[in-house]
Amino acid sequence: MTRVLMIASNVGLWAEELQAPWDALRGAGAELTLATHQGRTPLPLAISMDATMMEPKQHYLVNPPEVVERTKELLHAGEWDSDVRIDGVSMSDHDAICVVGGPGAALDLTGNSALHRLLLAAYDAGKPIAALCYAVGALVWTRLPATTGPRLGRSVLHGRRVTAHPRAWDFETDMDYQLWEPTADNPGATLVTPGFAFPLQPIVEDAVGPDGEVVSDASASRTNPCVVVDGNLITALSVESSIAFGEACVKEFGAVGVAAT
């Protein structure tokens, strides 16, 4: 049984971006460990649990009712209850790592040095690494050791082919990070940002360098998802590609023991 380390945001998870790969990998027989920065249940953003929400840039109903109901089932059953902290796990205990997105990933995952260490350990060991939507930002800042002087080395994305949330899709209105059913000990973040915390596409383009390629397909949709597999690296565009991302994880992690269904 493949041991998969799942990483999610505590302050802005998009529901389907965890639900889809979680159900795919669980259904394929993987052993899942869910970790977050705070060691608290990753609650989804309230807007990602609203089946009536119209995506402001692409103008479609972004949260299918069946996804919302399935996420409620997972949360109420306690499947995502976890006190595991990112800085308390070791990549040596896992066969693959899967980092999921949502706007909060830009806040507590992108610059998370403990997550960078896990990703670098997976990279060095040749283990599968999967990142969805804004989770790709954490790979931008996962750096190879500098070969000379104190300067940080290149990103592990250098020279690779990966996805990046399109700049054309970036929200432009103020965004809060209200969670669905927050609790006193798991309240989320009380802040407002002018759209997403930062645009992802430009920093990924810088990270891959001239020999890499960034796929930011603004025509992607549920019927035309965008997932890129480059060696042991799996990346996917955004929420519309969550199901395809989960399927790719099952297929690629199968090389280390997950039986695809």
Domain ranges of the chain: 3-256
For residue 212, the tally of other CB atoms under 10 A from its CB is 18
Contact status, residue 90 vs residue 35, Cβ threshold 8 Å: no
**d(Cα 227, Cα 247) in Å, to the nearest integer?**
10
Contact between residue 20 and residue 71 where contact means Cβ atoms under 8 Å apart:
no
What token pair was written down for 12?
């802005």
Amino acid letter for position 73: E
Q: What is the pTM of this model?
A: 0.95
pLDDT at 261: 36
Of 106 and 256, more confident: 106
> Of 258, 261, 240, 245, which is closest to residue 59 (Cα–Cα)?
240
> What is d(CA 260, CA 202) in angstroms, rounded to the nearest whole number?
35
Q: Please state, in angstroms and rounded to a whole number, the distance separating the CA atoms of residues 137 and 134.
A: 6
In this structure, what token pair is assigned to residue 4?
Answer: 């998969």
Residues 92 and 127: their CA atoms lie apart, in Å, by: 10
How many helices (H) does the chain have, and how many strands (E)? 7, 10
Q: For 126-169, write each residue's pLDDT tens digit.
A: 999 999 999 999 999 999 987 666 556 899 999 999 999 999 99
CATH class entry, domain 3-256: alpha beta
On average, the pLDDT of the chain sits at: 94
- The vertex-45 CA angle with 40 and 47, nearest 5°, equals 165
The predicted-structure confidence for 218-236, as pLDDT tens digits, reads as follows: 999 999 999 999 999 999 9
- Asked if the model's pLDDT at residue 259 lies above 80, the reply is no
Residue 257 binned pLDDT confidence (cut-offs 50, 70, 90): low
First to last CA, the chain: 14
